[in-house]
Amino acid sequence: MKQSRNLTLKLAAPADAAPIAAMSRELIEAGLPWSWTPERVARNLAQHETLVLTARDGERLAGFAIMRFGEESAHLSLLAVRPDYQRQGVGQRMLQWLTTSALTAGIANVHLELRETNLAARRFYLQQGFAETARIPGYYRGVETAVRMLREIRIKA
C-alpha cells in the first residue's frame, strides 16, 4: 500500500482533463455509459464557478474532485481516489479543502449524488457529516438508483 503523506493538493490544469476522465470512467462510471469524457472535464475546468481539484503523489494522479459552486449551495459532482491510495485520508483531505473553499465563498451546504450500491462511499460521506436526504430511482442513465446526500457547512448564528 502506498503512503499518502507526500500528497499535494492543487487545482487541475487543462492537461489533467484526460487522466481525470479516465479515472472517472474506471472508478465512478464503471458499468454505465461514459459521461465525464475528457471534453466534459475540460469544459468544467474552464468554468469559473467550478473547482477541479487534484491529489498528486509526485506527478501521479492519486485522486480528484469536481465541485460546482452556486449562490448558497455547492454540488460535489465527482470525487475519486485510486484504490492504492484509499483509506489513507486522501478523500477526506480533498473534501476538507473543497469545504473550506465553499465556506470562503459563502456557501451554506454541499450536496452530492452517489450510487445506492456504493456502500463504501456512503459510509465515507456519512463519516464526513453528510446525511442521506433522498433516493432517486433510475438517476444513473435509467440503470441505477442514486442516493442524494447533503451537508450543512455554514454555522448558524
Can you say whether residue 74 is alpha, beta or left, with left for phi > 0 and alpha for psi between -120 and 50 degrees? beta
Mean per-residue pLDDT of the chain: 93
State pLDDT tens for residues 145-156. Answer: 999 999 999 876
Judged against a pLDDT cut of 70, whether residue 2 lies above it is answered with no
| Residue type at position 53 | L
At 140 the pLDDT is 87
DSSP 8-state symbol, 145: E
Q: Which CATH number fits domain 8-110: 3.40.605.10, 3.40.630.30, 3.40.190.10, 3.40.50.300?
A: 3.40.630.30
DSSP 3-state helix, strand, coil percentages of the chain (rounded to 5)? 30, 35, 30
Model confidence band, residue 97 (pLDDT cutoffs 50, 70, 90): very high
Cell numbers linked to 80: 475519486
C-alpha distances (whole Å) from 41 to each of 14, 67, 131, 155 are: 9, 11, 27, 32
DSSP 6-60: T-EEEE--GGGHHHHHHHHHHHTSTTS---S-HHHHHHHHH-TTEEEEEEEETTE
Cell numbers linked to 58: 509526485
**Mean pLDDT of all residues in 31-40:** 92
Cα-to-chain-centroid distance, residue 110: 11
**Mean pLDDT of all residues in 75-97:** 95
φ, ψ for residue 151, nearest 5 deg: -135, 120
**Farthest CA pair distance, the chain:** 45
